[in-house]
Amino acid sequence: MFIRPCRRKKNGKQHAYWALVESVRTDRGPRQRTVAYLGRLDEAGRLGVKRAAEGGKRSGQRQLLLWEDDSPAPEWVEVDTANVRVENQLDFGGPWLAMELMRTLQLDKLFENVMPRGKEDIPWAKMAQVLTISRLCNPSSELHIAEHYYESTAMPDLLGIPGDKVYDERLYRALDKLLPHKETLEKHLKNRLGELFELEYDLLLYDVTSTYFEGQCEGNPMAQRGYSRDKRGDCKQVCIGLVVSKRGMPLGYEVFEGNRNDVRTWREIVTTMEARYGKADRIWCGDRGMMSKENIEFMESGNRRYIIGASKGTLKKFERELLEEDWRMIRDGLEVKLCQSPDGGKEMYILCRSRDRRDKEKAMHDRFEKRIDEALEKVRASCEKRNWKKEVIDRRVGKIMARNSRAAGLFEVEVKQVAKRAVVSWTKNEKWRDWATLNEGCYLLRTNVTDWSAEDLWRAYIQLTEAEAAFRIHKSDLRIRPVWHQREDRVLAHILVCFLAYVLWKTLSQMTRAAGLGDEPRRVFEELGKISLVDVVLPTRDGPEIRRRCVRRPTDHQAILLERLSLTLPRRMKS
């Protein structure tokens, strides 16, 4: 669910509110449905909030900040209104909100504990906050932060660090100081998130992605060429394995060499998480890229429970079950059934059939079949016009099949050399088509969890989309790619800062969910990020100028979000 700004004119006055919208599946495709309208609190709501803030007889104290201003009595001067001006507009909302999230997680205090103040001019704990806030609000290089971004924001006022004290070398040193505390940070955040949002870590979701480098990275042994999820096989990369809970809250991550296969990361990540957080009764969930005979034996040897995707080829063993009609419908267009292991082992298999996936795969098969037909016709026409050697035509046919591998099994192509001319002919394997039609839209899961229903097992596995969503946020919103650092330790520190920024992102996501603002914090962050800090200059009749650094008054839409999130903007900053 996400929010959409709306306005309504009533009695000649504009009223702002938000529409809470969700995407739903229909027979006509995905549609958006309005769930609720969110506006300002009415009088009864405001009185209820005020009464809660004042507290009862047993509270013994009142929350005066919301309702009373403890500022000193005003002093009156004559102002030259013709020359009133505004100067130095700075970005305020994003950095301020990031600092509020850090205080909620007690991350600022943790920075101070693990990096205590020494003889340095600026505390490293403060510089770590600069790196994390900048990564969340405006992801960019340390050089860009130092030369452009930092002084264009309210961070000098919020953190108390002058702009000339923040430069690229100091930010690089802050990365070096932060990296050794990775494990401490992960443990703290896991415990704090669990306390704040009552999280359960009984289901752990694991997935792997990659991020690529700009440069040769000759001094970094982890930078290797491998399978690139970013379609940048020309660049060296590292792989990142991320573990999240079923609500997408991060538990920890590890960085692997860029040529490390997914299946070879499974054992290491499981043992690392168990050493860090204990070997509790958890269920590990991964996609079919994590499956191997060795990994299954490793999980079973330690009595570990798992739900993992099975390879597409395994479906052949369940041809009889595919033909039977004892499917269980768990939602419109999705059916599942629980099957015994064909080898007679303790494992259970969950057979899943999706209507949307079937339509997609059928369209792909039809498209690739048409492409192969057209390409083979061109080859045959070429052979009729020119004397080609059989070896040349074989290579052309091989390339056609490689480009259209989804339907290559349907075609049986024969190339013969007749006299000086190559002759191409082909037939279609209808048995392959029948099997493809039968298993379109089907996929298979395997598990050693025997006390759950097929529906519960499927719902647990589908939570893997939370790990995939985490990677999308890292790459689109936090811009973890490309990596410009060349040294191994700087690369690891860069990924750590991105992880910390992602934790702030997910914290805001949980806050918006609790406030009834949906589960997509992007719009909330963008809207509050528009709030700025300005210098208001008031020339007086007597000559001196009064300068006040003030936070711009939030718009009606911003005020609704702040009210829902229980956040209070400061009125002004020290100039």
Q: In one letter, which amino acid is 371?
A: R
Tell me: do 471 and 398 sit in the same domain: no
Tell me: do 223 and 252 sit in the same domain: yes
Structural domain for 236, as ranges = 199-317+448-483
CB 269 within 8 A of CB 262: no
Give me the pLDDT at residue 411, please.
96
Residue 3 lies in a domain: yes
Tell me: do 209 and 306 sit in the same domain: yes
Indicate the SS3 state at residue 424. Answer: strand
| pLDDT, average across residues 175-198 | 94
| pLDDT, average across residues 441-448 | 94
Model confidence band, residue 28 (pLDDT cutoffs 50, 70, 90): low
d(CA 101, CA 105): 6
Residue 222 lies in a domain: yes
pLDDT at 24 over 90: no
Model confidence band, residue 52 (pLDDT cutoffs 50, 70, 90): very low
d(CA 336, CA 328): 5
Give me the pLDDT at residue 37, please.
76
Residue 547 lies in a domain: no
- Give me the CATH number covering residue 226: 3.30.420.10
Structural domain count, the chain: 4
Tell me: do 110 and 99 sit in the same domain: yes
Tell me: do 366 and 513 sit in the same domain: no
Tell me: do 215 and 262 sit in the same domain: yes
d(CA 37, CA 19): 5
| Average pLDDT, rounded, for the chain | 89
Tell me: do 523 and 498 sit in the same domain: yes
Residue 287 lies in a domain: yes
Residue 20 lies in a domain: yes
- For the chain, give the percent of residues with pLDDT over 70: 93
Tell me: do 203 and 313 sit in the same domain: yes
Give me the pLDDT at residue 34, please.
82
Residue 193 lies in a domain: no
Task: Out of 5-14, 80-89, 397-406, 477-486, pick the least confident.
Answer: 5-14
If one compares 281 and 216, the residue with the highest pLDDT of the two is 216
d(CA 348, CA 445): 8
The pTM (predicted TM-score) of the whole model is 0.85
Tell me: do 142 and 237 sit in the same domain: no
3-state SS record for 459-514: HHHHCHHHHHHHHHHHHHCCCCCCECCCCHHHHHHHHHHHHHHHHHHHHHHHHHHH
| pLDDT, average across residues 31-56 | 61
Residue 574 lies in a domain: no
104 phi/psi in degrees, rounded to 5: -60, -40
109: left (phi over 0), alpha (psi -120 to 50) or beta: alpha
Tens of pLDDT, residue by residue over 303-333, are 999 999 998 889 999 999 999 988 999 988 8
d(CA 208, CA 238): 10
If one compares 42 and 444, the residue with the highest pLDDT of the two is 444
CB 174 within 8 A of CB 130: yes
Q: Taking the CB of residue 406, how many other CB atoms lie within 10 A of it?
A: 17
pLDDT at 137 over 70: yes
d(CA 472, CA 479): 9
Tell me: do 396 and 369 sit in the same domain: yes
Residue 404 lies in a domain: yes
The pairing of beta strand 203-212 with beta strand 237-244: antiparallel
Tell me: do 211 and 293 sit in the same domain: yes
- For the record, the structure tokens of 301 come out as 């040897």
Tell me: do 490 and 473 sit in the same domain: no
Indicate the SS3 state at residue 181. Answer: helix
| pLDDT, average across residues 356-360 | 93
How many residues appear in the chain?
575
